[in-house]
Chains A and B, each alone.
Chain A
Amino acid sequence: MAKEMKYTEPELLACTASRILENKKSVFVGTGLPMIAAMLAQKTHAPELFIIFEAGGLGPQMPVLPISVGDSRTFHRAVAASSMHDVMSASQSGYVDFGFLGAAQLDPYGNINTTMIGPYEEHKTRLPGSGGANDVGSFSQRTIIIMRQDKRKFVEKVDFLTTPGYLSGPGAREKAGLPKNTGPYRVITQLGVYGFNPDTKRMYLISLHRGVNLEDAKANSSFAFEVSDKLEVTEPPTEKEVRILHEEIDPVGIVLRK
C-alpha cells in the first residue's frame, strides 16, 4: 500500500469540492475555497468548466487566485467581462449548473444563514449578509455548500433564513415558486460529505473523510441525520492536486495558508 498522503483541511475541502464539478458545466463561484475548487477542477478533470463571477466575469482563465469576485483576475482572458445584471439574468433563466456557497448555519434541509447569529433584534454576531447567496441558492440546479461543521453551525433551525434550501421539506421549493430541479446538492465539511435524500429532502451522510468516525460527525451536529447504506471514505487529495493547489492556484497561501 502506498504511503499515506499528508494534507491540510483546506486542501481536503478544495479537492473534495473540485471533484464534484463536471467538465463543460457552468459554476457560479464566490470568494475563497469555491474559487480554489473551481480552478483546481479546471486544471485537472474539467478543463472546460465555465466559471461565472458575480461582477460579470464569464469563463476566465485565471492566472492565479482572485481575492474578490470583482477583481481583475475574474475576467482575465475571459470570454466576457459583463455585468452583474448580465450574469444574474442568465442565471435566473436557468443557465447555471452549479452554485457554491458557504454557510454560518445550516439546517437539515439545506437552508442557510449568512446574515446574523441570534434573534434579529438582539443578535450576537452580524455576518456579511446574503450577497448573491440567496440568488445563487435559488437558481442553481445543484448548490454545493462548503462549511465547517459543529453543533452551533449544524442547527435544527437557522437564526435567520438567508438562502432557501429545501425549506420545510418535499415540495416546499416548488410551492414557493423556486425554479424546478434546483436546490442543495452536497454539503462538504471538515468531517465528511452529505447529500440530500430525494424523498425527505433531508441531509444524509455520504462519506467520511479519512480518520473521521461516524461518532465525530454525529457529535458535531445539533440535528440527527441518516447515513448512507454505502457509507464511503472520501478519496483523499492526491499529490498532484496538492501540488497544483500550492504551485499554481494559491502560491502565496491566501486561502490555503502555507
Chain B
Amino acid sequence: MGDVKVSKVMTAADAIGKFVPDGCSISIANFLHSTPFALIHELIRQKKKDLLVWSQSGIEELDLLIGAGCTKKIITAYNFRAGGEWANGEFDRALNEGRLEVEDLSNFAVLAMLWAGAMGYNFIPVLKGIRETDIFKISTILGGEKFKVVKDPFSGEDTVVVKGANPDVALIHVQRCDREGNAQYWGSIGNSKWASLACKKIIVSTEQIVDHDVVRFSPHLTLIPGFRVDAVVEEPWGAHPAEALGAYNTDYGFRAMFFMHNITAVSMQSFLKEWVYDCAGRAEYLAHYVERFGQAPLSRLRARTHPSYPADLGSANFSVWDERGYSEALGMTRSEFDQVLEKQGEVMEWEIEEK
C-alpha cells in the first residue's frame, strides 16, 4: 500500500517523467469519454518511445501516439475510423508502412484480461465461442499469451481463458480527486475501474483537486482509492476534446479539425506541433485554443448543471450503546444484555443436557 498521508500532487510533466519509462506498457482508462488527453499529450511532449498501449476503444489518442512515434504496439478491441469503414489516418499509414502492430481482441476479452489482472488472477474464462473466430486464431503482440483452452474442472468441458494483464502504468481522467489520490468518478464507468486497477502504477488527472473531507463525505463516488494511486495531476479541461460529465461536452469542431489533419502525415505532424509540442502544458493548450478560436466556443462546451439526488449516508447512531452504556434499541444496559446472553447460554446448555 502506498503512503496515504503524503500528497501525490504534481505536474503532468513530473508524473509522466517519473512513472512512465520508455518501453513500458500503459493502459488508457476511460471508454470513449473523459479520455486523459492532458496526460497523453505529455507522453508525446516527452517523446516517450516503444510504449505498449492497452486501449479498450480508441479514437484520436491512438493516432496521436502513433504519429508522435510513442508506440508501435497497440492491444485493442476497437479503433474509431473517422470517415467510416474506409478511413485513412495515421493508424492506417503506420499499419501499411509496417510501423505498427495491433493485437485484436473483443471488448469483453480486453476487459477480462484487465479484470483478471486487477484481481491478481493469472487467467479468467471468457465465452468460449470466441475460439471459432480469427480473434482467437490470429495473435501478434501477445503471441501465445492471449487465449488458452483448458478443462473446466467442474463440467470437464473445454473452456477458453484469457491471461490476466498487469500493464505498468494507468492513465485516467476523473472529475475530482483529493491530494492523496482518492479519485471520484461518476457517470457510466465503461472499463475505467479495471483498466486502472490492473496496473502497477496509476496516474490520475482530475478536473479539480478537492479537500479530503469531500471524499470522506461521499465515499461511494470513489472509483480508485488513494492507496493505489501514485500521482495526482490537476488539469481542468484535461479530457478536451472528449467529454467530462458535469464539466464540459465533446468538442466536435475541434475533433473534426483533428480528423482533417489526420488525413496526411504532414498535416498530422503540424497538428502535433501546434497543439502538443508548442504548448508547454494544458494551460498553454487552452490559452492557444482561446487565441485561435476565442473564448466563446470553449464556454459553449461548459456543462449545464444536472445534479444527482443526494444519497443519505446517515445512521441512527454509531454504537448500539450510548455513553452511559444504555441501548435505546434494546431497552437495556450493556450489563443487562450480558445477563440475557448468559441466560440464553444456560437454556441452550440445559437443552443439550436434556438430550
**A125–B86 touching, CB < 8 Å:** yes
The answer to whether A72 touches B129, judged by C-beta atoms less than 8 angstroms apart, is no
Query: Which A residues are CB-close (under 8 A) to B130?
Result: 134, 138, 164
Checking B57, B104, B107 against A115 with a beta-carbon cut-off of 8 angstroms, the contacting residue is: B104
Residue A69 is within 8 A (CB to CB) of chain B in the complex: yes
* A127, B135: Cα distance in complex, Å: 14
Q: Is B158 an interface residue (CB 8 A)?
A: yes
A233 in contact (CB, < 8 A): no
| Nearest-CB residue, chain A, relative to B152 | A177
CB nearest to A153 among chain B residues: B85
Min Cβ gap A214→B in Å is 27
Is the pair A83, B135 in contact by a Cβ cutoff of 8 Å?
Answer: no
A128 touches B31 (CB 8 A): no
Say yes or no for A234: interface residue by CB 8 A criterion: no
Interface centre among B77, B109, B252 (most CB of A within 10 A): B77
Interface hit among B41-49, B188-196, B275-283: B188-196
Residue in B57, B138, B159, B190 whose beta carbon sits within 8 Å of that of A120 in the complex: B138
Q: A162-B134, A164-B133 are in contact. Are A56 and B157 (CB under 8 A)?
A: no
Let me know if B92 and A131 touch, CB within 8 A: no
Q: A67-B250, A126-B95, A161-B134 are in contact. Are A92 and B108 (CB under 8 A)?
A: yes
Q: Which of B32, B133, B243 contacts A134 (CB 8 A)?
A: B133
B81 in contact with A53 (CB, 8 Å): no
Contact of B77 among A67, A120, A132, A139 (CB under 8 A): A132
- Chain A residues near B186: list those with CB within 8 A: 81
**Contact A177/B85 with A83-B190, A126-B92, A133-B106 known, Cβ cut-off 8 Å:** no
Secondary structure of the A side of the interface?
Answer: loop
For A53, what are the chain B residues with a Cβ–Cβ distance below 8 Å?
188
Given contacts A120-B138, A130-B105, A178-B127, is CB(A161)–CB(B132) below 8 Å? Answer: yes
Question: A95 to chain B: which residues have CB within 8 Å?
Answer: none
Which residue from chain A places its CB closest to the CB of B76 in the assembled complex? A129
Cα distance, A104 to B189, chains bound together (Å): 29
Contact of B188 among A70, A115, A129 (CB under 8 A): A70
Q: How far apart sit A24 and B115, CA to CA, in the bound complex (Å)?
A: 31
Q: Are A88's CB and B111's CB within 8 A?
A: yes
List A contacts of B245 (CB < 8 A): 72
Given A71-B250, A133-B106, A134-B106: A81 and B189 within 8 A (CB)?
A: yes
B314 at the interface (CB under 8 A from A): no
Q: Which of B80, B131, B133, B194 makes the CB contact (< 8 A) with A128?
A: B80
Known contacts A56-B189, A129-B79, A134-B133; A84/B106 CB under 8 A = no
How far apart are the CA atoms of A161 and B133 in the complex, in Å? Answer: 5
A161 to B92, CA, bound (A): 20
Q: How far is the CA of A134 from the CA of B160 in the complex (A)?
A: 14
Question: Are B33 and A130 in contact, CB atoms less than 8 angstroms apart?
Answer: no
Contact flags A56-83 to B (C-beta < 8 A → 1, else 0): 1100000000011111101100100111
Q: How many Å lie between the Cα of A250 and that of B192 in the bound state?
A: 29
CB-based contact B189/A162 at 8 Å: no
Interface residues of B in 74-121 (CB under 8 A from A): 76-81, 85-86, 91-92, 95, 102, 104-109, 111, 115
Q: How far is the CA of A74 from the CA of B158 in the complex (A)?
A: 37
Contacts of B33 in A (CB 8 A): 55, 68, 70-72
Check if A75 sits within 8 Å of B107, measured CB to CB. no
Shortest distance from the beta carbon of A180 to any chain B beta carbon, whole Å? 12
> Which chain A residues lie closer than 8 Å to B86 at the CB level?
125
- 5 more contacts with CB within 8 A, not counting A54-B107, A70-B188, A134-B108, are A70-B190, A129-B76, A129-B79, A133-B106, A162-B134
Residues of chain B whose beta carbon lies under 8 Å from any beta carbon of chain A: 31-33, 56-57, 76-81, 85-86, 91-92, 95, 102, 104-109, 111, 115, 127-135, 138, 157-159, 186-194, 243, 245, 249-250, 252
Which 4 residue pairs spanning A and B have beta carbons closest together? A56-B188, A131-B78, A134-B106, A83-B189
A-B pairs with beta carbons under 8 Å apart, 12 shown = A53-B188, A55-B33, A70-B31, A88-B111, A120-B134, A125-B85, A134-B109, A134-B133, A163-B133, A164-B133, A177-B128, A177-B158
